Amino acid sequence: MDAMKIAFIGLGLMGYPMAGHLARTLETLIWNRSAEKAVSHAQEFGSRVAGSIADAAQSDILFTCLPTSKEVLELLPHIITGAKAGLIWVDCTSGDPASARQIALSLEAHGIRFLDAPVSGGVKGAINGKLTVMVGGDADTLETVRPALETFAAKIVHCGPIGAGMAVKAANQALLGVNILALSEVLLGLERQGVTSRTALEVINSSSGRSNVSQNLFPERVIGRAFPNTFSLKLMTKDVRIAAQSLREQQIPSPVTALTEQLLEVALRELGDVDHVAAAQLLERWAGLELGVE
Ligand code: NDP
Protein backbone atom coordinates (compact mmCIF):
# COMPACT_ATOMS: atom_id res chain seq x y z
CA MET A 1 0.00 0.00 0.00
CA ASP A 2 2.90 2.32 0.81
CA ALA A 3 3.91 2.41 -2.83
CA MET A 4 0.41 3.46 -3.89
CA LYS A 5 0.27 6.91 -5.37
CA ILE A 6 -2.86 8.86 -4.45
CA ALA A 7 -4.31 11.99 -6.04
CA PHE A 8 -7.14 14.20 -4.80
CA ILE A 9 -9.07 16.78 -6.82
CA GLY A 10 -11.39 19.27 -5.08
CA LEU A 11 -10.06 20.76 -1.85
CA GLY A 12 -13.35 22.24 -0.64
CA LEU A 13 -14.77 22.13 2.88
CA MET A 14 -14.80 18.32 2.73
CA GLY A 15 -11.99 17.55 0.31
CA TYR A 16 -9.36 19.66 2.06
CA PRO A 17 -9.36 17.67 5.32
CA MET A 18 -10.02 14.33 3.54
CA ALA A 19 -6.95 14.83 1.36
CA GLY A 20 -5.09 15.86 4.50
CA HIS A 21 -5.69 12.46 6.10
CA LEU A 22 -4.52 10.72 2.93
CA ALA A 23 -1.39 12.86 2.71
CA ARG A 24 -0.41 12.05 6.29
CA THR A 25 0.04 8.38 5.43
CA LEU A 26 0.35 8.08 1.64
CA GLU A 27 2.11 9.91 -1.15
CA THR A 28 -0.62 12.32 -2.27
CA LEU A 29 -0.87 14.62 -5.26
CA ILE A 30 -3.50 17.37 -5.07
CA TRP A 31 -5.23 19.64 -7.56
CA ASN A 32 -7.74 22.41 -6.91
CA ARG A 33 -9.41 24.91 -9.25
CA SER A 34 -8.28 27.78 -7.00
CA ALA A 35 -4.57 27.04 -6.84
CA GLU A 36 -3.90 28.83 -3.54
CA LYS A 37 -5.82 26.16 -1.58
CA ALA A 38 -3.56 23.49 -3.07
CA VAL A 39 -0.47 25.46 -2.08
CA SER A 40 -1.61 25.85 1.53
CA HIS A 41 -2.63 22.16 1.62
CA ALA A 42 0.86 21.14 0.54
CA GLN A 43 2.35 23.32 3.28
CA GLU A 44 -0.02 21.98 5.92
CA PHE A 45 -0.02 18.27 5.09
CA GLY A 46 3.05 17.58 2.95
CA SER A 47 0.96 16.77 -0.14
CA ARG A 48 2.34 17.69 -3.57
CA VAL A 49 0.61 20.05 -6.02
CA ALA A 50 -0.14 18.48 -9.42
CA GLY A 51 0.45 20.69 -12.45
CA SER A 52 -2.85 19.73 -14.08
CA ILE A 53 -5.82 17.39 -13.81
CA ALA A 54 -4.14 15.04 -16.29
CA ASP A 55 -1.00 15.02 -14.10
CA ALA A 56 -3.14 14.11 -11.08
CA ALA A 57 -4.51 11.17 -13.06
CA GLN A 58 -0.95 9.75 -13.13
CA SER A 59 -1.74 7.92 -9.91
CA ASP A 60 -3.03 4.58 -8.67
CA ILE A 61 -6.11 5.95 -6.92
CA LEU A 62 -7.67 9.27 -7.85
CA PHE A 63 -10.22 10.87 -5.49
CA THR A 64 -12.61 13.64 -6.50
CA CYS A 65 -14.89 15.66 -4.22
CA LEU A 66 -16.70 18.33 -6.24
CA PRO A 67 -20.11 20.00 -5.83
CA THR A 68 -22.13 17.94 -8.34
CA SER A 69 -21.79 15.30 -11.05
CA LYS A 70 -21.73 18.13 -13.61
CA GLU A 71 -18.27 19.26 -12.47
CA VAL A 72 -17.11 15.64 -12.26
CA LEU A 73 -18.20 15.01 -15.86
CA GLU A 74 -16.13 18.04 -16.94
CA LEU A 75 -13.00 16.31 -15.62
CA LEU A 76 -13.64 13.12 -17.57
CA PRO A 77 -11.68 13.91 -20.78
CA HIS A 78 -8.68 15.21 -18.81
CA ILE A 79 -8.59 12.13 -16.62
CA ILE A 80 -8.87 9.77 -19.58
CA THR A 81 -5.99 11.66 -21.25
CA GLY A 82 -3.73 11.52 -18.21
CA ALA A 83 -4.66 8.18 -16.66
CA LYS A 84 -1.93 5.86 -15.44
CA ALA A 85 -2.56 2.25 -16.47
CA GLY A 86 -4.80 0.56 -13.89
CA LEU A 87 -6.09 3.83 -12.41
CA ILE A 88 -9.02 3.55 -9.96
CA TRP A 89 -11.17 6.70 -9.73
CA VAL A 90 -13.10 7.09 -6.48
CA ASP A 91 -15.67 9.88 -6.68
CA CYS A 92 -16.65 11.20 -3.23
CA THR A 93 -18.95 13.84 -4.69
CA SER A 94 -22.62 13.55 -3.67
CA GLY A 95 -23.56 13.12 -7.31
CA ASP A 96 -26.42 11.50 -9.14
CA PRO A 97 -26.55 7.76 -9.82
CA ALA A 98 -27.21 8.12 -13.57
CA SER A 99 -24.06 10.23 -14.05
CA ALA A 100 -22.04 7.74 -12.03
CA ARG A 101 -23.18 4.96 -14.35
CA GLN A 102 -22.41 7.11 -17.41
CA ILE A 103 -18.90 7.91 -16.13
CA ALA A 104 -18.15 4.29 -15.25
CA LEU A 105 -19.22 3.19 -18.72
CA SER A 106 -17.07 5.83 -20.47
CA LEU A 107 -14.05 4.76 -18.41
CA GLU A 108 -14.46 1.06 -19.03
CA ALA A 109 -13.14 1.28 -22.59
CA HIS A 110 -9.96 2.91 -21.22
CA GLY A 111 -9.38 0.29 -18.52
CA ILE A 112 -10.10 2.77 -15.72
CA ARG A 113 -12.14 1.44 -12.79
CA PHE A 114 -14.66 3.71 -11.05
CA LEU A 115 -16.42 3.73 -7.67
CA ASP A 116 -19.01 6.20 -6.47
CA ALA A 117 -18.19 6.84 -2.82
CA PRO A 118 -20.02 9.82 -1.34
CA VAL A 119 -19.53 10.53 2.34
CA SER A 120 -21.52 11.66 5.36
CA GLY A 121 -20.45 13.08 8.69
CA GLY A 122 -20.01 16.72 7.75
CA VAL A 123 -16.95 18.94 7.99
CA LYS A 124 -16.42 17.82 11.58
CA GLY A 125 -16.34 14.16 10.48
CA ALA A 126 -13.93 15.03 7.68
CA ILE A 127 -11.57 16.86 10.04
CA ASN A 128 -11.69 14.04 12.59
CA GLY A 129 -11.31 11.31 9.95
CA LYS A 130 -14.60 9.76 11.04
CA LEU A 131 -16.67 9.88 7.85
CA THR A 132 -19.10 7.22 6.68
CA VAL A 133 -18.39 6.23 3.07
CA MET A 134 -21.17 4.65 1.00
CA VAL A 135 -19.78 2.85 -2.01
CA GLY A 136 -21.27 1.77 -5.31
CA GLY A 137 -19.35 -0.49 -7.71
CA ASP A 138 -17.21 -3.58 -7.80
CA ALA A 139 -16.53 -5.16 -4.38
CA ASP A 140 -12.94 -6.21 -5.25
CA THR A 141 -12.12 -2.68 -6.39
CA LEU A 142 -13.42 -1.43 -3.06
CA GLU A 143 -11.07 -3.83 -1.25
CA THR A 144 -8.13 -2.41 -3.22
CA VAL A 145 -8.92 1.17 -2.18
CA ARG A 146 -10.16 0.37 1.34
CA PRO A 147 -6.85 1.20 3.10
CA ALA A 148 -6.91 4.66 1.48
CA LEU A 149 -10.56 5.21 2.43
CA GLU A 150 -9.78 4.17 6.00
CA THR A 151 -7.51 7.19 6.43
CA PHE A 152 -10.61 9.43 6.59
CA ALA A 153 -13.46 7.01 7.33
CA ALA A 154 -14.85 5.39 10.45
CA LYS A 155 -17.34 3.31 8.47
CA ILE A 156 -17.31 2.02 4.89
CA VAL A 157 -20.45 0.40 3.49
CA HIS A 158 -20.66 -1.35 0.13
CA CYS A 159 -24.16 -0.39 -1.03
CA GLY A 160 -24.42 -2.19 -4.38
CA PRO A 161 -23.54 -1.63 -8.06
CA ILE A 162 -22.31 1.67 -9.56
CA GLY A 163 -24.64 4.50 -8.52
CA ALA A 164 -25.80 2.78 -5.33
CA GLY A 165 -23.61 4.94 -3.09
CA MET A 166 -24.97 8.12 -4.65
CA ALA A 167 -28.53 6.81 -4.33
CA VAL A 168 -28.14 6.07 -0.61
CA LYS A 169 -26.52 9.46 -0.03
CA ALA A 170 -29.42 11.29 -1.73
CA ALA A 171 -31.95 9.32 0.34
CA ASN A 172 -30.14 10.28 3.54
CA GLN A 173 -30.14 13.93 2.49
CA ALA A 174 -33.88 13.83 1.78
CA LEU A 175 -34.38 12.71 5.38
CA LEU A 176 -32.15 15.53 6.59
CA GLY A 177 -34.25 18.04 4.63
CA VAL A 178 -37.52 16.60 5.92
CA ASN A 179 -36.25 16.83 9.50
CA ILE A 180 -35.10 20.44 9.20
CA LEU A 181 -38.41 21.62 7.75
CA ALA A 182 -40.64 19.51 9.99
CA LEU A 183 -38.80 20.48 13.17
CA SER A 184 -38.93 24.17 12.20
CA GLU A 185 -42.69 24.18 11.83
CA VAL A 186 -43.48 22.27 15.00
CA LEU A 187 -41.15 24.49 17.05
CA LEU A 188 -42.78 27.62 15.60
CA GLY A 189 -46.17 26.26 16.63
CA LEU A 190 -44.91 25.53 20.14
CA GLU A 191 -43.32 28.97 20.56
CA ARG A 192 -46.66 30.55 19.61
CA GLN A 193 -48.15 28.58 22.50
CA GLY A 194 -45.52 29.88 24.92
CA VAL A 195 -43.16 26.88 24.88
CA THR A 196 -39.56 27.90 24.20
CA SER A 197 -37.65 25.90 21.60
CA ARG A 198 -35.04 25.10 24.24
CA THR A 199 -37.71 23.46 26.43
CA ALA A 200 -39.33 21.72 23.47
CA LEU A 201 -35.98 20.25 22.38
CA GLU A 202 -35.26 19.06 25.90
CA VAL A 203 -38.36 16.89 25.62
CA ILE A 204 -38.04 15.92 21.94
CA ASN A 205 -34.40 14.91 22.38
CA SER A 206 -35.31 12.36 25.00
CA SER A 207 -38.40 11.20 23.09
CA SER A 208 -39.29 9.41 19.88
CA GLY A 209 -39.32 12.49 17.64
CA ARG A 210 -35.60 13.17 18.04
CA SER A 211 -33.12 13.20 15.15
CA ASN A 212 -29.61 14.39 14.36
CA VAL A 213 -31.26 17.68 13.41
CA SER A 214 -32.93 18.10 16.80
CA GLN A 215 -29.97 16.77 18.80
CA ASN A 216 -26.99 18.31 17.06
CA LEU A 217 -27.99 20.96 14.55
CA PHE A 218 -30.87 23.01 15.97
CA PRO A 219 -29.44 23.63 19.47
CA GLU A 220 -26.37 25.40 18.05
CA ARG A 221 -27.66 26.85 14.83
CA VAL A 222 -31.34 27.70 15.27
CA ILE A 223 -31.61 28.21 19.03
CA GLY A 224 -28.11 29.70 19.23
CA ARG A 225 -28.72 31.74 16.04
CA ALA A 226 -25.28 30.77 14.71
CA PHE A 227 -25.37 29.48 11.16
CA PRO A 228 -21.76 28.63 10.24
CA ASN A 229 -21.80 27.64 6.58
CA THR A 230 -20.45 24.09 6.86
CA PHE A 231 -22.76 22.62 4.23
CA SER A 232 -24.49 24.93 1.83
CA LEU A 233 -28.23 25.04 1.22
CA LYS A 234 -27.42 24.94 -2.48
CA LEU A 235 -25.68 21.57 -2.10
CA MET A 236 -28.40 20.13 0.12
CA THR A 237 -31.10 21.23 -2.33
CA LYS A 238 -29.12 19.51 -5.09
CA ASP A 239 -29.07 16.31 -3.01
CA VAL A 240 -32.83 16.35 -2.34
CA ARG A 241 -33.44 17.10 -6.04
CA ILE A 242 -31.49 13.91 -6.86
CA ALA A 243 -33.53 11.92 -4.31
CA ALA A 244 -36.86 13.25 -5.61
CA GLN A 245 -35.87 12.65 -9.23
CA SER A 246 -34.76 9.13 -8.49
CA LEU A 247 -38.02 8.32 -6.67
CA ARG A 248 -39.98 9.67 -9.64
CA GLU A 249 -37.90 7.51 -12.00
CA GLN A 250 -38.63 4.44 -9.89
CA GLN A 251 -42.34 5.39 -9.89
CA ILE A 252 -42.48 5.34 -6.10
CA PRO A 253 -45.20 7.67 -4.80
CA SER A 254 -43.11 10.23 -2.93
CA PRO A 255 -45.12 13.30 -1.87
CA VAL A 256 -42.97 13.98 1.22
CA THR A 257 -39.68 14.09 -0.69
CA ALA A 258 -41.28 16.06 -3.55
CA LEU A 259 -42.63 18.71 -1.17
CA THR A 260 -39.31 18.89 0.66
CA GLU A 261 -37.54 19.45 -2.66
CA GLN A 262 -39.95 22.25 -3.61
CA LEU A 263 -39.66 23.98 -0.22
CA LEU A 264 -35.87 23.84 -0.36
CA GLU A 265 -35.88 25.32 -3.88
CA VAL A 266 -37.97 28.23 -2.52
CA ALA A 267 -35.70 28.60 0.52
CA LEU A 268 -32.64 28.72 -1.75
CA ARG A 269 -34.26 31.40 -3.93
CA GLU A 270 -35.39 33.49 -0.96
CA LEU A 271 -32.42 33.12 1.38
CA GLY A 272 -29.51 32.70 -1.04
CA ASP A 273 -26.69 30.25 -0.52
CA VAL A 274 -26.75 30.12 3.28
CA ASP A 275 -25.99 27.14 5.52
CA HIS A 276 -28.47 24.29 5.01
CA VAL A 277 -29.92 24.55 8.54
CA ALA A 278 -30.85 28.18 7.78
CA ALA A 279 -33.68 26.74 5.63
CA ALA A 280 -35.57 27.04 8.94
CA GLN A 281 -35.63 30.79 8.27
CA LEU A 282 -38.06 30.31 5.38
CA LEU A 283 -40.70 28.93 7.76
CA GLU A 284 -39.79 31.59 10.34
CA ARG A 285 -40.46 34.31 7.74
CA TRP A 286 -43.79 32.77 6.80
CA ALA A 287 -44.76 32.52 10.48
CA GLY A 288 -43.45 36.01 11.32
CA LEU A 289 -41.56 34.54 14.27
CA GLU A 290 -37.92 33.82 15.01
CA LEU A 291 -37.11 30.59 16.83
CA GLY A 292 -34.98 30.59 19.98
CA VAL A 293 -35.54 34.23 20.98
CA GLU A 294 -36.38 33.97 24.68
P1 NDP B 1 -17.24 23.17 -1.44
O2 NDP B 1 -18.10 24.12 -2.19
O3 NDP B 1 -16.66 23.59 -0.14
O4 NDP B 1 -16.02 22.70 -2.37
C5 NDP B 1 -16.21 22.38 -3.71
C6 NDP B 1 -14.89 22.02 -4.35
O7 NDP B 1 -15.11 21.80 -5.74
C8 NDP B 1 -13.82 23.11 -4.29
O9 NDP B 1 -12.55 22.51 -4.23
C10 NDP B 1 -14.02 23.83 -5.62
O11 NDP B 1 -12.88 24.53 -6.06
C12 NDP B 1 -14.28 22.68 -6.52
N13 NDP B 1 -15.00 23.07 -7.74
C14 NDP B 1 -16.19 23.72 -7.82
N15 NDP B 1 -16.54 23.87 -9.13
C16 NDP B 1 -15.53 23.33 -9.86
C17 NDP B 1 -15.30 23.18 -11.25
N18 NDP B 1 -16.19 23.63 -12.15
N19 NDP B 1 -14.16 22.59 -11.66
C20 NDP B 1 -13.25 22.14 -10.76
N21 NDP B 1 -13.41 22.24 -9.40
C22 NDP B 1 -14.55 22.82 -8.97
O23 NDP B 1 -18.11 21.84 -1.27
P24 NDP B 1 -18.07 20.75 -0.09
O25 NDP B 1 -16.67 20.35 0.17
O26 NDP B 1 -18.95 21.21 1.02
O27 NDP B 1 -18.86 19.56 -0.81
C28 NDP B 1 -18.25 18.72 -1.80
C29 NDP B 1 -19.18 17.54 -2.04
O30 NDP B 1 -19.35 16.82 -0.81
C31 NDP B 1 -20.59 17.96 -2.49
O32 NDP B 1 -21.09 17.03 -3.41
C33 NDP B 1 -21.39 17.93 -1.18
O34 NDP B 1 -22.77 17.74 -1.44
C35 NDP B 1 -20.73 16.78 -0.46
N36 NDP B 1 -20.81 16.79 1.01
C37 NDP B 1 -20.63 17.95 1.74
C38 NDP B 1 -20.71 17.92 3.13
C39 NDP B 1 -20.52 19.15 3.97
O40 NDP B 1 -20.86 19.09 5.18
N41 NDP B 1 -19.99 20.25 3.44
C42 NDP B 1 -20.99 16.66 3.85
C43 NDP B 1 -21.08 15.50 3.00
C44 NDP B 1 -21.03 15.58 1.64
P45 NDP B 1 -12.57 26.05 -5.58
O46 NDP B 1 -11.81 25.90 -4.30
O47 NDP B 1 -11.80 26.60 -6.69
O48 NDP B 1 -13.92 26.73 -5.40
Which residue's alpha carbon is nearest to atom 7 within ligand 1?
66
Per the CB < 8 A criterion, the answer to whether 143 and 90 are in contact is no
Residue 162 to residues 87, 101, 108, 150: CA-CA distances in angstroms? 17, 6, 12, 20
**Separation of first and last alpha carbons in the chain:** 56
Give 58-94 pLDDT, tens digit per residue: 999 999 999 999 999 999 999 999 999 999 999 999 9
Catalytic site residue from 37, 124, 155, 169: 169
Atom number of ligand 1 nearest to Cα 239? 34
Whole-model pTM: value is 0.96
Helix (H, G, I), strand (E, B) or coil at 8: strand
Q: Is-catalytic flag, 169?
A: yes
Residue 11 CB–ligand 1 contact under 6 Å: yes
Look at 190 and 224; give whichever has higher pLDDT: 190
**At 268, is the pLDDT very low, low, confident or very high (cuts 50, 70, 90)?**
very high
**Is residue 81 within 8 Å of residue 57, measured between CB atoms?**
yes
Nearest CA to ligand 1 atom 40: 122
pLDDT tens by residue, 273-287: 899 999 999 999 999
Residue 170 pLDDT exceeds 50 = yes
Exposed, middle or buried: residue 206 (CB in 10 Å: 0-12, 13-18, 19+)?
exposed
Atom of ligand 1 minimally distant from the CA of 12: 4
Residue 252 has pLDDT above 50, yes or no: yes
Residue 24 pLDDT grade (very low, low, confident, very high; cuts 50, 70, 90): very high
Q: Is the CB of 12 within 6 Å of ligand 1?
A: yes
pLDDT value at residue 104: 98
Cβ–ligand 1 distance for 172 under 6 Å, the answer no
Write down the mean pLDDT value for the chain.
Answer: 96
Question: Domains in the chain and their CATH numbers?
Answer: 6-160 (3.40.50.720), 167-287 (1.10.1040.10)
Task: Give pLDDT, residue 1.
Answer: 47
